[in-house]
Amino acid sequence: MSDTDDRRYHHGNLRTALLAEAERSVREHGAEQLSLRELARQVGVSHAAPRRHFPDRQALLDALAETGFERLGNELRAAVEEAGHDFQARLRATAAAYIRFATDDAALLELMFAGKHRAGAEQLVTAADRAFAVMFDLIVQGQAEGVIEPGEPERVGLVLFATVQGIASLINGSMVDAELLDGLADDAVEHFLRGSRARV
Amino acid sequence: MSDTDDRRYHHGNLRTALLAEAERSVREHGAEQLSLRELARQVGVSHAAPRRHFPDRQALLDALAETGFERLGNELRAAVEEAGHDFQARLRATAAAYIRFATDDAALLELMFAGKHRAGAEQLVTAADRAFAVMFDLIVQGQAEGVIEPGEPERVGLVLFATVQGIASLINGSMVDAELLDGLADDAVEHFLRGSRARV
DNA sequence: GCAACAATGTAGTCGCCGACAACAATGATG
DNA sequence: CATCATTGTTGTCGGCGACTACATTGTTGC
């Protein structure tokens, strides 16, 4: 073959290439529309090649969800770090970052949630826990500072988590204009803090 | 044909029968798995018959979403009525009813949200507005009683709506045990009220 | 009554898909 | 450098949604 022809028999990086292309496609057209054959075409391999890396379509979607959780975790961590040390600023930044991710990658998040409760997805659950740990760590900080009632972070933070997730759902369902995103996130955090302040 | 053979050439009620079977199937296997041909088989008509009532698969899903909104509205209204006149009781009942619907018919709700932001779904939007009006009417009552800050109900109630929707998302995503449903709904309402009380 | 016509069902076909099997080329190992 | 695992390819299968042509039934105007 000519040395400018990069179509070697062995692609060399097919799994990664498929995941990258799949993520692009899911963002653009949703997970339902994703076609393994179309993916293979765009990456330049035969229709059966993906099977070597993903036993079936769902396996690819699961892998996509896993990398999604990793990316979500990174973005949340980055948001916390950029927000400095003030608790409320951190909370606001994290909520906004979560909603940002959920609306930028709505179909991916749907995938991430959908995959979590299917059997044999242990790696997925681990990845999810790692991502959500950021939020629960924040709750712990709030408790230490006395602005959030004591108790298990998973339980205390649930209302906030739910609210943030719900805002994302409403935006994705076109019940709310996406432009209101940051304002809504702030509203939600303020509401949460007013409702959560430790009462003695 | 024999008079016990109910397989007439004209089904007589095919559209309704298809929708009923589709709703059952969606509840059981999700919208993605829904197959028009399988539906036709189970209803006892040829594979092309559904096309007379729904131009394509998406049209059937839209119709399903529409009846879903009607049912949701009815259930929310029923919850309000059963709860008596006390505002907080009504709020709790409505939140619980919404979450109940969202978890019993998770796939259907997903469909309802997904369809709303596609073009040419005006009937769907109308049906959705009618369903959600129940929640906003409640907010108005709360404002009249002075326990919720004044302002447009759509904006003021949004945090509550988001929280309720988010709880449903978390339950459906197996992030929370479904048994906690009622307790969570109460938590959310209490949190919301603590955060929303009109401040003078 | 009954002829036209609209509404509603059937059969057959097309291209696409996911899954699978058999085979081919390449890379790694001893 | 022979052998074997890895990672590609081609071919095939049944199922699907969409479409067309045709068949049956219900309805409406005369």
Chain C nucleotides close to protein (CB under 7 A) are: 8-13, 16-22, 25-27
From chain A, the residues in CB contact with B165 under 8 A are 165-166, 169-170
- Give which of B32, B157, B14, B142 is closest to A166, Cα–Cα: B157
Q: How far is the CA of B118 from the C1' of D22 (A)?
A: 35
Candidate from A6-10, A127-131, B112-116, B168-172 with smallest mean pLDDT = A6-10
> What is the three-class DSSP state of A141?
helix
Q: Are B111 and B127 in contact (CB under 8 A)?
A: no
One digit per residue, the tens of pLDDT, for chain A of length 200 reads 333 445 676 777 999 999 999 999 999 999 999 999 999 999 999 999 999 999 999 999 999 999 999 999 999 999 999 999 999 999 999 999 999 999 999 999 999 999 887 877 788 989 999 999 999 999 999 999 999 999 999 888 999 999 999 999 999 998 888 888 888 999 999 999 998 875 54
- The pLDDT of residue B116: 81
Cα separation, A105 vs A142, in Å, equals 29
- The pLDDT of residue A200: 47
Q: E strands, A27-162, where?
A: none
Whether the predicted pLDDT of B104 surpasses 90: yes
The sign of the torsion formed by the CA atoms of B30, B71, B116, A157 equals: negative
Whether the predicted pLDDT of B1 surpasses 60: no
CB atoms within 10 A of CB A183: 11
- The pLDDT of residue A3: 38
- The pLDDT of residue B130: 94
Chain D nucleotides close to protein (CB under 7 A) are: 7-12, 15-21, 24-26
**How are the residues of chain A apportioned to helix, strand and coil, as percentages rounded to the nearest 5?**
70, 0, 30
Among candidates A161, A184, A195 on the partner chain, residue whose Cβ is nearest the Cβ of B170: A161
**Cβ partners under 8 Å of residue B72, min gap 6:** B98, B101, B109, B112, B131
> What is the three-class DSSP state of A29?
helix
Q: Are A62 and A115 in contact (CB under 8 A)?
A: yes
